[in-house]
Structure 1
Amino acid sequence: MTRAIEAITSVVRSLVDDEPKPPLHVGEVMALWTALASFQEAHYLYEAGLNTTQDPDLKQAVQGALDASKKDSKMIKDFLKKEGVPLPAVSEEKPKSNPNDIPPGVKMTDSELANTISIKLAAVISFCGTSIAQCIRSDVGIMFLEVQAEVLKLNATFKEQMKKKGWLKIPPYYYPSGRPDQS
């Protein structure tokens, strides 16, 4: 799936690279600004997660999410600077800490951490899709498509890990009345 999205992005980019770029409209600016603010705040969730989990698989997945988010944030930040858009204020980085020094009532469990990140990733996927649909400038739409593709990969990793560890929260199954027997 990743290769398909990369191929589509590459084709679309080659078709629109030379088109004249009008100024960003307010919706594009708001989407980019909101994405940057959200991604930068997510860094602190990921850093806190790295400080609390001792599960090596989860730690690796959280580090991957942090790295990808920092890459996406830099791309959007550089773009906004180039377009003359002021950047959102951000919180300070979290210092490193020992997971064993965090009181149990404060520390998220691995399941809570994984589900919180998974929910955040799902929201970003949806946000990117909405932003793509609202973009007039193709370069902005492609940027959101690239972010969405990266987040889809991360979400697949989290979901697989959560299934394996029994952390995935599944809503109740729905059986409509009059449904033919599916046994």
Structure 2
Amino acid sequence: MGILSGKSKEEPMHYGEIFTVWTASSMAKGTVSCYQTYLNHSGDKELQKVLGDLINQAELEIAELDKILVENGIAPAPVMPERPPVKLEDIPVGARFTDPEMAAKIAADVSLGLVACSQAIGMSVREDIGALFAKYHMTLTAIGLKILKMNKEKGWLIPPPLQIKRPEPVHA
């Protein structure tokens, strides 16, 4: 039948899949490092919980994506060092990230992650890789909804300009 007719995990990855898996792993490693820092800056318990969920998801993605890379003879990006916990009070006020700005940043990150997962799904030839990114997409969708609700409830959401007054429809 051909080179792409066997078991999905035994099929070769094309260059787009290699780049996508490697980049996603690298981004997840950066996410863990960044969000560990955010945890040190956050005073809000609900935001800390969401950050913990995002860190756990990124660590899962790192493990799964790096496994695919290694199995295909590709060296994954290096892991960044763990961030040590710091007391919020030890961070000078002017040097702290605020809870609303961290919440806005993670909402934007999740939004970009959804787009990246959709692109990975669409370009994948190997079913296992497409399915993996579909799983990540579903998880990010659920976390994104939590972030949106949290931002609305806490008054942290800054919406774009809203159309309050609508023009009168013209009937011909």
* TM-score relative to the length of structure 1: 0.83
Read off the aligned partner of 1:63 and give its amino acid letter. G
78, 85, 91: which is aligned to 2:67? 78
User: C-alpha offsets along residues 35-86 of structure 1, whole Å, 9 cap, x if unaligned?
Assistant: 0000110001210111111111111111111111111211111111111111
Read off the aligned partner of 2:83 and give its amino acid letter. K
Taking the aligned partners of 1:169 and 1:20, their CA distance within structure 2 comes to 44
Shift of 1:166: 0.8
7, 19, 24: which is aligned to 1:30? 19
Shift of 1:103: 1.1
Shift of 1:89: 2.3
Rg larger in 1 or in 2? 2
96, 114, 124: which is aligned to 1:107? 96
Is contact 1:124–1:151 with CA below 8 Å preserved after alignment? yes
The SS at the match of 2:95 is coil
User: C-alpha offsets along residues 147-179 of structure 1, whole Å, 9 cap, x if unaligned?
Assistant: 111111111111110110011121112479755
132, 144, 149: which is aligned to 1:160? 149
Q: Does 1:88 align with 2:77?
A: yes
Assess, with a 3 A threshold, how the Cα gap between structure 1 residues 27 and 179 changes in structure 2: closer, same or farther. Answer: farther
* TM-score relative to the length of structure 2: 0.89
Count of residue correspondences = 166
Percent of paired sites with the same residue? 24
Read off the aligned partner of 1:150 and give its amino acid letter. T
The gaps in structure 2 that reach 5 residues or longer are none
Q: Tell me how large the CA RMSD over aligned residues is.
A: 2.2
Q: Does 1:69 align with 2:86?
A: no
Taking the aligned partners of 1:44 and 1:141, their CA distance within structure 2 comes to 26
